[in-house]
C-alpha cells in the first residue's frame, strides 16, 4: 500500500491520509498507473492540500475538503500561476486533484461539482518532431561509429533499430532479456501501466539484435538483461542518450533528435505511408487514440510545408 508522507508543515488528518493512500493504490492496481505516475499524482494532490491547509487556516481533513468551493479552486489556481507554474503542469495537477476528489466524493457523499467544473488552463500541445526517413537511417548508421569496441557499436545500433523499426520506448527495448536474443517475428511487449501489446519485428531489427548477441562478450541469460553495459550490468538509458547526442552533433541535427524521436519517426512514417491510425495506436501501446492523433497533426504540417513550397502561387 502506498504510504502518504505529508510535506513539512502540512497537517493531514489520518482519515484523509488513508483515503489518499487508498486512491493511489487504486490508480496502480485497477488503472494500471506506473510508479512514476503514482508518485506524480501524490505530489500534485499533496501540493493542493498544502494550499488548502493555509487557505482554510487549519489542518486538511475530510470535513474541510468537503467544503471546497468555486472560489477556493480559483484561489488555488491563481496561487499556482503566481509561482510560475506552467499551464501544462497546472493542467496535470488539476487532473490529479479531480481524479482524487471524484473518487473521494463517491465514498464520502460530497458534492464534487465545484472541483470537477474547474477548467484547466489552455496550453499548446507540443507536437513530436520526427526525423525524415533519410535522417533516421543516417542516425542508425552514424551511431555505429561512436564506440571503440565493435560489440558496443553493434549494441547501440540494435537498440536504435528497435526504437525506429518497432516503435519501442527506450525503457521497453532495455527491458528485453536474454530470452529475446533471437527475436521472434512478433514481440510481446509490456508497456506503460503493464499494458501488453504485440509488435511485429522487421528483419532488419532481427539482424541487428542477432549481430549484437553474436559479438557481445556476455552470454545471453534467459532472465538477465539482453543489452549490457561495458562492465556487464544492465545497459542504462543514459548511455543511449549520449550516443544519440554525439550522433546528432555529427549530422547537424537539432536537439529534438532524441532516442524518443526515433519512436515518433516510426509512427509518422507509418502514417505517411497510409497506415491506419487505430493500428498505429496498438503498435505504440497508447491507451488513448487522442495521443496517437497527435501524429496526424505532424503529418498535416509536413503536407502543408510541401504544399507551400510547391504551389505555383506560393
Let me know if 169 is a catalytic residue.
Answer: yes
Give me the phi and psi of 290, to 5 degrees please: -60, -35
Catalytically annotated residue among 79, 192, 197, 302: 192
CA–CA gap between residue 84 and residue 272 (Å, rounded): 39
Catalytically annotated residue among 169, 228, 248, 269: 169
CA–CA gap between residue 265 and residue 217 (Å, rounded): 32
Retrieve residue 223's grid coordinates.
532472465
Q: Are 161 and 140 in contact (CB under 8 A)?
A: yes
List helix spans (H) across the chain: 14-29, 35-56, 62-66, 70-82, 87-108, 113-116, 133-143, 150-166, 170-174, 203-215, 237-251, 259-272, 277-284, 289-310
Give me the phi and psi of 85, to 5 degrees please: -70, 130
Give the three-state DSSP class for 313. Answer: coil
Retrieve residue 253's grid coordinates.
541535427
Let me know if 286 is a catalytic residue.
Answer: yes
With cell 552470454, the residue in question is 219
Catalytically annotated residue among 88, 102, 260, 302: 260
Catalytically annotated residue among 28, 155, 263, 264: 263
Let me know if 263 is a catalytic residue.
Answer: yes
Q: Are 4 and 42 in contact (CB under 8 A)?
A: yes
CA–CA gap between residue 294 and residue 296 (Å, rounded): 5
**Residues with a known catalytic role:** 169, 192, 260, 263, 286, 295
Amino acid at each position: 500500500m502506498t504510504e502518504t508522507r505529508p510535506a513539512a508543515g502540512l497537517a493531514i488528518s489520518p482519515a484523509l491520509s488513508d483515503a489518499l493512500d487508498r486512491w493511489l493504490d487504486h490508480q496502480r492496481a485497477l488503472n494500471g498507473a506506473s510508479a512514476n505516475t503514482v508518485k506524480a499524482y501524490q505530489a500534485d494532490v499533496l501540493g493542493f492540500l498544502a494550499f488548502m491547509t493555509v487557505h482554510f487556516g487549519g489542518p486538511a481533513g475530510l470535513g474541510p475538503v468537503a467544503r471546497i468551493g468555486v472560489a477556493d479552486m480559483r484561489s488555488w489556481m491563481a496561487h499556482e500561476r503566481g509561482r510560475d507554474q506552467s499551464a501544462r503542469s497546472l493542467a496535470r495537477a488539476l487532473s490529479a486533484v479531480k481524479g482524487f476528489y471524484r473518487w473521494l466524493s463517491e465514498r464520502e457523499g460530497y458534492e464534487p461539482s465545484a472541483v470537477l467544473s474547474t477548467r484547466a488552463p489552455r496550453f499548446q500541445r507540443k507536437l513530436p518532431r520526427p526525423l525524415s526517413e533519410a535522417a533516421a537511417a543516417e542516425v542508425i548508421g552514424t551511431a555505429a561509429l561512436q564506440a571503440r569496441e565493435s560489440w558496443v557499436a553493434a549494441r547501440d545500433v540494435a537498440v536504435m533499430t528497435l526504437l525506429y523499426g518497432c516503435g519501442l520506448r527506450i525503457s521497453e527495448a532495455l527491458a528485453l532479456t536474454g530470452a529475446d536474443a533471437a527475436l521472434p517475428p512478433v514481440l510481446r511487449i509490456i508497456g506503460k501501466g503493464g499494458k501488453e501489446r504485440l509488435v511485429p519485428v522487421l528483419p532488419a531489427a532481427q539482424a541487428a539484435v542477432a549481430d549484437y548477441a553474436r559479438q557481445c562478450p556476455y552470454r545471453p541469460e534467459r532472465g538477465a538483461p539482453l543489452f549490457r553495459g561495458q562492465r556487464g550490468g544492465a545497459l542504462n538509458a543514459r548511455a543511449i542518450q549520449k550516443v544519440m547526442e554525439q550522433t546528432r552533433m555529427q549530422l547537424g541535427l537539432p536537439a529534438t533528435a532524441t532516442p524518443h524521436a526515433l519512436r515518433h519517426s516510426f509512427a509518422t512514417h507509418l502514417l505517411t505511408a497510409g497506415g491506419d491510425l487505430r493500428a498505429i495506436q496498438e503498435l505504440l501501446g497508447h491507451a488513448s487514440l487522442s495521443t496517437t492523433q497527435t501524429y496526424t497533426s505532424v503529418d498535416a504540417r509536413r503536407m502543408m510545408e510541401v504544399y507551400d513550397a510547391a504551389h505555383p502561387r506560393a
